[in-house]
Structure formats: C-alpha cells, structure tokens
Amino acid sequence: MASLERVRQGLESSGQGHVLQFWPELSEEERDAFLQELGQLDLQGLRDHCEGAAKAAASPPDSLDRHIEPVPSEFIGSVRKSDRKSLAEWENEGLLHISKNRVGVLLLAGGQGTRLGVQYPKGMYSVALPSGKTLYQIQAERIRKVQEIADRKHGSKCTIPWYIMTSEFTLAPTEKFFEEKHYFGLEPTNIIMFEQRMIPAVTFDGKVILQGKGKVAMAPDGNGGLYKALMDNKVLEDMKRRGVEYLHVYCVDNILVKMADPVFIGFCVSKGADCGAKVVEKAYPAEPVGVVCRVRGVSQVVEYSEIRPETAELRGPGGEMVYSAGNICNHFFTRTFLQDVAEKFEGQLKQHVALKKVPYVDACGNQVRPTKPNGIKMEKFVFDVFPFSRNFVVFEVVREDEFSPLKNADGAATDSPTTARNSLLAQHCRWATSAGATLLDEHGNTASVSAGDTNPAQCEITPLVSYFGEGLEQLLKGRTLKTPFYLDEKKAKELQAE
C-alpha cells in the first residue's frame, strides 16, 4: 500500500491537499481503504487533470460550422439504397469471417445509467417483453444465433468471443448475473469481462470532489476509456491469440442491436476499412445526436452542440438533410487499428466535459446532494478515434430495424423502457406479417403493423429462432396468430411439426 506521506506529498504538489482534510476523523479501517484508493490515483497526472477539467468547462465549445462537410458518398454504404445482391454479398462475406473465428463483439457496459435510474447495470434491465428477457439475455441469444447461421452455412463450429467492458460500478453485478444465468448458454471462457479506469470528478475551480470524508468522487473515464482498458487488461493480446481480426463494438442500451452484424462487417471488410460507423438518418435537423462528418477533411463525430441550427438545417438538392448521419455508437474496428490507437494515439484523444450533480461533503463535513451541477466529469468517447483511421467508412441502416436505445426512465417521451419494448415488438410484428402470418389483437381484430408503431401487438420472437427475421416463413406462412404470441424454440418445433 502507498504510504500516507507519499500520498500527502503527491496531493499537495497537485494543489489537492484538501482531500485529506478529514483524515484525523477517520477510523483505522476507513484510513486503510482511503489510502488504498488514493494510492491508485495517478498522482503525477492529477494537476493536469484538475486544471484541464476546470479550463475545459470554462471555455465554450468551438463552433465547427465553417470547417465541416459531409463524408463523401463513395465512403458510405446504405441498407436502404443498396440492392439485394450487394446486401447478400456483404452478408456472405461477414458470415465467412464469423465462421473462421475472425469476428468478436465488444460491449461498452461501464456507464452508470443515471438517467434510467436503476441501481444495477443497465444490461440487467428488463423492458417487460412477454418473455421477460433482459438486455444481456437478448444480446447473448443473438450471438448464439448468428454463430449457428455461420456454422450452418460453412459447416463450421465457430465462436464469437464477447468482450464486455465494465467499470467499478458494473463489473461485480454483471459477473454475478451472468453466472446465475449460466452465461445464457454461451461458453463462459468466451465471455471476457474487463474493467475500465475511474477518474476523479472535479469542481469548477479544479478541486477533486470528496464524496465522503474518506472517499473521492470517482467516475468511469467515458466509453473512450476503452482504449486504455484494452491495454491495461491485455485484451488485444487475447484477440490476437484467438485470431480475432474484426471487432463489432456497441452500447448496452440499444435493444435492436444486431450482434456481430454480418452485413456491416462484410461491408467494412470489403471496403478495406480499418474503422467504420453505423449510422441512422437523423429524424429531424435538431435531433440531439452526434453527426458523422468531416472536419477540416478528417472524419469525426460532431456533437449537436458544436454546430449552429442553420447548419443542421441545410438540405441537399433532393431535400435531404446534408448532415443526416446520426451516430448510434455502433462501430467496426480491425484489431490492428485498435492496436495502433492504443499504442500511438490514446494520449491524443479529446477530453469531453460533462457537468454533473455530484454528491459531496462540505468543509464542515456535511453530506450535500446538489440540486444543480457542481462538478465536472471528464470523459473520452469511443468514436474519437475516427480521425486516426486510414480508411474510414460509414454504413447507414434503417432506424426502425436497428436502433432504439434505452436511456431514460418511463415517463420520458423518448428512449424509455416503453419505447424500447415497442420498437422490438413492432419489429417482430413486421417480421411475422412479412413471413405471411396474420396477427390478431386481444379483440380478435387484425392488428395493424407499421414501422414506428407506438402500440404494437404483443408479438415476440426469440433470437434463438430468428436473428433478423429470417427463417420464419416456413413456420408462420398462412397462419392466423392470436396475440400475445411468443415464438420460442418449443413453439417453433410445434409449428414445424404441424
């Protein structure tokens, strides 16, 4: 354990001597725990971190309007605009790589999910589907299914390793949950959990915030903490050892995520890309999502706060938005690109400022729950490596089919448990009807099925039966199905036998 004197010196020389102000009041046990925590802080970098945070929070974001342009069309693929043949070719290419164990998935699950407001990792959340499945279970089953599809096509027995980045908040409960659920039928050795770093939250005048008398307010270093975490935990070595060349990175909260999406992977590989971003068309110009574009000729994501409304409103000759490529935190990376980033570029990644309400103890030792933001959390973002790519591509997918994030608690107009559940049910209704089924609502009337349906019939199909709508015709064609209808593997067998 670090010595008190060394820690005290380190703190004082970074202008953070106040961190030990309650030391005399702490018990022996509390002192040990605190010293251990402080020993893990990067004391050398602490001054830069604190001063940098205060400075960044005080300066308004640059307006990038004059320097931006859309990504040129030759680097963009699109599900909507591509013919069936191209889509099938990309899918085949993706499945081939999957069958040869060259593809891994990486889940970013270190966030605190404060907006959703539950005390456990977001992946353990159930949005109340008929099956009651959690986000983690849905994702696990999609991995199993896409492995099976690749195996069937190529006569292989393949594995898609599942890398899961967690944080101090999410690691232990996630591990426990997976164990209790028997890893959802996946091989435990192919699920690799690792932890990202934590960094101190800082006041507007650059002082580390004390959450308790013997506890610094720490927060995960953003989903761009991935690159340090990959190195810290030797994850890239693990990928190399397994022969994983391509990685599909995604966020925990998108209920429609296509795990190890063969079409996206096939598209990126066939273009020789080292880095790729899936995007959806922005719903409207002021939609608060980042836009994938170029700034001074370099590909990157521009936050909605970094461009003026007039720029966001710009339209092309056909009336389409010029800056329409909404980032959905769904990325393709080659392992060698990640290796380069981790070794050469990580230190150059931008730091983003998030102003948060951080509970703290005041100078008199009282616990305070602030009602307005009082602290700065510095975060790195996973997409900030785009500028280092040598061949960056964009792949536009259909929002209703692939993107519905769970961010907020119920009651919010968007991105809530209800909207996530409805997106999945509406998609499964569309799959069932395009396979030739007629769905009946609870009154026996034909249920309406349309994209963006806000009150879809209760039709759910397990990923173990269909990954993305395939294979349903033989089970459902010509059938009239009363809802709620849940197509699990058992039901599928019964229908097959009829």
- Segment contacting ligand UTP (CB under 6 A): 15-23, 47-55, 114-122, 440-448? 114-122
- With binding defined as CB under 6 A, does residue 110 bind ligand UTP? yes
CB of 122 to ligand UTP, least distance (A): 6
Which residues 6+ apart lie within 8 Å of 421 measured at CB? 127, 128, 129, 255
- With binding defined as CB under 6 A, does residue 222 bind ligand UTP? yes
Identify which of residues 232 and 245 has a Cβ nearer to ligand UTP in the complex. Answer: 232
By the 10 Å C-beta count (0-12 exposed, 13-18 middle, 19+ buried), 132 is classed as: exposed
**From the list 112, 270, 351, 418, which residue makes contact with ligand UTP (rule: CB under 6 A)?**
112
First to last CA, the chain: 68
Identify which of residues 253 and 384 has a Cβ nearer to ligand UTP in the complex. Answer: 253
- With binding defined as CB under 6 A, does residue 414 bind ligand UTP? no
- With binding defined as CB under 6 A, does residue 251 bind ligand UTP? yes
Identify which of residues 196 and 423 has a Cβ nearer to ligand UTP in the complex. Answer: 196
- The vertex-86 CA angle with 329 and 77, nearest 5°, equals 35
Quote the tokens at residue 234. 């030797």
Size of the site for ligand UTP (CB under 6 A): 22
- With binding defined as CB under 6 A, does residue 253 bind ligand UTP? yes
**From the list 7, 53, 165, 260, which residue makes contact with ligand UTP (rule: CB under 6 A)?**
165
CB of 257 to ligand UTP, least distance (A): 10
Residue nearest to ligand UTP (CB): 111
Quote the tokens at residue 173. 């409960």
Binding mask 456-485 for ligand UTP (x = CB under 6 A): ------------------------------
CB of 290 to ligand UTP, least distance (A): 11
By the 10 Å C-beta count (0-12 exposed, 13-18 middle, 19+ buried), 36 is classed as: exposed
- With binding defined as CB under 6 A, does residue 225 bind ligand UTP? yes
**From the list 19, 140, 252, 437, which residue makes contact with ligand UTP (rule: CB under 6 A)?**
252
- With binding defined as CB under 6 A, does residue 108 bind ligand UTP? yes
Contact 228, 235 (CB under 8 A): no
- With binding defined as CB under 6 A, does residue 278 bind ligand UTP? no
- Segment contacting ligand UTP (CB under 6 A): 68-76, 103-111, 262-270, 490-498? 103-111
CB of 174 to ligand UTP, least distance (A): 11
- The vertex-105 CA angle with 100 and 107, nearest 5°, equals 170
**Rounded distance between C-alpha atoms, residue 128 and residue 416, angstroms:** 12
- Segment contacting ligand UTP (CB under 6 A): 12-20, 104-112, 343-351, 445-453? 104-112
- Segment contacting ligand UTP (CB under 6 A): 48-56, 108-116, 177-185, 366-374? 108-116
Q: For residue 266, which of 103, 401, 144 has the smallest C-alpha distance?
A: 103
- With binding defined as CB under 6 A, does residue 223 bind ligand UTP? yes
- With binding defined as CB under 6 A, does residue 104 bind ligand UTP? no
**From the list 114, 454, 455, 480, which residue makes contact with ligand UTP (rule: CB under 6 A)?**
114
CB of 497 to ligand UTP, least distance (A): 41
**Rounded distance between C-alpha atoms, residue 294 and residue 296, angstroms:** 6
Identify which of residues 10 and 224 has a Cβ nearer to ligand UTP in the complex. Answer: 224
**Rounded distance between C-alpha atoms, residue 38 and residue 4, angstroms:** 9
Footprint (CB under 6 A) of ligand UTP, residues 327-366: 329
- With binding defined as CB under 6 A, does residue 111 bind ligand UTP? yes
Backbone angles phi, psi at 168, to 5 degrees: -50, -35
**Rounded distance between C-alpha atoms, residue 108 and residue 221, angstroms:** 12
Binding mask 193-212 for ligand UTP (x = CB under 6 A): ---x----------------
> What does the binding site for ligand UTP look like in residue numbers (CB under 6 A)?
108-115, 122, 165, 167, 196, 220-223, 225, 251-253, 329, 407
